[in-house]
Amino acid sequence: MAIPFKYSLKNFKSRKLTTFITIFGIALVVFVFAAVLMMAYGIEKTLISTGLEDNVLIARKSSNGEISSIIPVDIQDVIRTLPFIAKDNNGNQIISNEPVVVINLEKSDGAVSNITVRGVSPEIQNLRPQVKLKNGNWFKFGTRELIVGSSINSRFEGAKVGDKIKFAGDFWDIVGVFEADGSGFESEFWGDALQLSDAFNRGSSASTVTLKLENAANFNSFKTAFESDIRLKEFEPKIERKFFEEQSELLSNFIRILGIFITIIFSLGATIGASITMYAAVANRTVEIGTLRALGFRRSSILIVFLFESLLISLIGGLIGLAFASFLQFYSISTLNFASFAELQFGFALTPSIAISSLIFAAAMGIIGGFFPSVRAARLKIISALRAI
């Protein structure tokens, strides 16, 4: 006989409280699970969007990030001799020698955090056109002026236009606020590269060199020319977007692993809750199960019906949890980037793959929690079940 799904749906009303509690538990677990994945992807998305496909970032091979890389001035000059570097309308190469340092700055809530300060060269606006001035003015090269990313501007003391901050033994004027399409640059200060190097007694050395290619398709040819010069053997060129993507891996993987570990612990409770709910359903409907068997329904039909109930409960909980998690996209949080040891603001990001993974996770809890109660229901003998009348 056909599987009695309508019978299964009608029985939801008979155990409203236990069903609600189970749905709530699964929704909570799925919310945490989705939030963790959204957080990890949000970090990746923020840092990946920091780079461009036609920009090449060059750093020392042994460095773990920009702050631990040093490129001396003679190497900077060698890099400028390489082919395929784009030029502006005046014939100047679009290249920026960038010292990167970390300073301490107080947040609006009184806490202190590390902030990245990036020195840039005059061609920076051609190099990174996604960076737009929000208000104020661009800093003047040759002066100790800074522009501040919108993320820092809104969350830190002394980071407003007209304020002064002190580091490296001198005061620096904040003259503007910039946006960068929500990328990691919005968590930085920018100023004149030469002034920043001088303030930290670095001479003319840079942390990294970033240049724009004439065409993004020329990267392999550029890399071949780069690697053929023995003077550059200690350095490595990467597509800027790929470089920042790799910088996100350590932090995003840490959040993903830790979050999933915690979620699995929570899921054990939700799975047990689903199992208890289904065991209670079997106990309360023993006679009904016997009647269904007497009417000709097979054991496999009973098994599938109870698994369907458990799966339906878990999917309802999963959808509710995912719906609440989707609202996290309206919020941004900040944390310490393991690669730069500096503040990084990012938003939660929901993708179709995260939504599907969350629902599969919810379904798995329902199937695991409902399997043994369903088996018990299917194995009930007709006579024993009817004797419970």
pLDDT, tens digit (0-9, with 9 covering 90-100), for 112-132: 888 899 999 999 989 999 999
123 belongs to a structural domain: yes
- The whole-angstrom separation of Cα 342 and Cα 333 is 14
Domain boundary among 233, 260, 277: 233
12 and 95 housed in the same domain: no
53 belongs to a structural domain: no
pLDDT surpassing 50 at residue 385: no
In the chain, the percentage of residues whose pLDDT exceeds 70 is 81
127 and 221 housed in the same domain: yes
Cα→Cα distances 320→23, 219, 353, Å: 8, 46, 17
Give the list of residues 6+ apart from residue 229 with CB closer than 8 angstroms, or none: 78, 82
What pLDDT score does 99 carry? Answer: 94
pLDDT surpassing 90 at residue 73: yes
What pLDDT score does 86 carry? Answer: 95
Nearest to 95 by CA among 236, 193, 227: 193
102 and 191 housed in the same domain: yes
Domain boundary among 201, 233, 265: 233
23 and 73 housed in the same domain: no
pTM of the entire structure?
A: 0.78
Asked if residues 98 and 120 have their Cβ atoms less than 8 Å apart, the reply is: yes
Average pLDDT, the chain: 83
11 belongs to a structural domain: yes
What pLDDT score does 280 carry? Answer: 63
209 and 271 housed in the same domain: no
342 and 310 housed in the same domain: yes
In tens, the pLDDT along 196-221 reads 999 998 888 999 999 999 999 999 99
What pLDDT score does 6 carry? Answer: 62
75 and 189 housed in the same domain: yes
Range scoring the smallest mean pLDDT among 2-16, 20-34, 54-68, 364-378: 2-16
Domain containing residue 198: 62-233
What pLDDT score does 292 carry? Answer: 59
241 belongs to a structural domain: no
What pLDDT score does 12 carry? Answer: 59
79 and 18 housed in the same domain: no
In tens, the pLDDT along 277-334 reads 666 665 555 556 556 556 556 666 666 777 777 788 888 888 999 999 999 988 887 7
What pLDDT score does 49 carry? Answer: 75
374 and 262 housed in the same domain: yes
145 and 202 housed in the same domain: yes
User: Which has more pLDDT, 234 or 306?
Assistant: 234
107 belongs to a structural domain: yes
104 and 179 housed in the same domain: yes
In tens, the pLDDT along 7-54 reads 566 665 666 666 777 788 888 888 888 988 888 888 888 877 788 899
Domain boundary among 233, 266, 285: 233
In the chain, how many domains are there? 2
Angle made by CA atoms 55, 61, 62, in degrees to the nearest 5: 140
**What are 144's two structure tokens?**
């100790």
179 belongs to a structural domain: yes
What pLDDT score does 68 carry? Answer: 87
147 belongs to a structural domain: yes
Give the list of residues 6+ apart from residue 190 with CB closer than 8 angstroms, or none: 117, 118, 119, 120, 124, 139, 146, 147, 148, 149, 178
212 and 278 housed in the same domain: no
121 belongs to a structural domain: yes
